[in-house]
Amino acid sequence: MDLSSFSAADVDQVTQALRACNAADSFAPTVAAGRPYSSVDALVDRAGEVSRALPWAEVVQALAAHPRIGDRVSGDSAEASSSRREQASMSTAADDVRDALTQGNRDYEARFDHVFLIRATGRTPEEMLAELQRRLAHTPDEERPEVLEQLAQITELRVRGLVRA
């Protein structure tokens, strides 16, 4: 949809569309309430601000909607479609990289009790693996800001894809 359609659409329709960008309870209603936005950039900036300000409990809620890096995502939901598009580079991952990501995901989840989240768009499988390995050395307090930033970046990309200029 374009920006004027986004601004004029029913609040329930806009809220539902925004939930596919970030599943945290307060995200979609907060961003929808800011309409109309002066530009797509202003909307994307607001989506990032709202994401970065989420309380940790809502970050965990949003994380639950994200598949593991390297998993084959099925389904026809907006979230599944976004994840497949964002993780497209995984289709070319070598078996050893895919195996290392699978093990790294297990290790990460055991350490932090949530899925490893990274903006996959624009990254190779090897880059994602290196980030996973780097972040495994974090304490939970060190990891939370990284998770929040990755969630915000993913949300911004999804909102930009949802609303075209």
Query: Quick one: tokens of 57?
Result: 């409990």
Show the domains of the chain with their CATH numbers.
Answer: 3-162 (1.10.3330.10)
- Confirm if 157 and 119 have CB atoms less than 8 A apart: yes
Q: Is the pTM of this model over 0.75?
A: yes
Query: Quick one: tokens of 96?
Result: 């050893």
Taking only the tens place, the pLDDT of each residue in 17-60 is 999 999 999 999 999 999 999 999 999 999 999 999 999 999 99
User: How much is the pLDDT for 93?
Assistant: 78
Closest CA to 155 of 52, 34, 48: 48
Helices of type H across the chain: 3-8, 11-19, 27-33, 40-52, 56-63, 78-86, 95-112, 125-135, 140-162
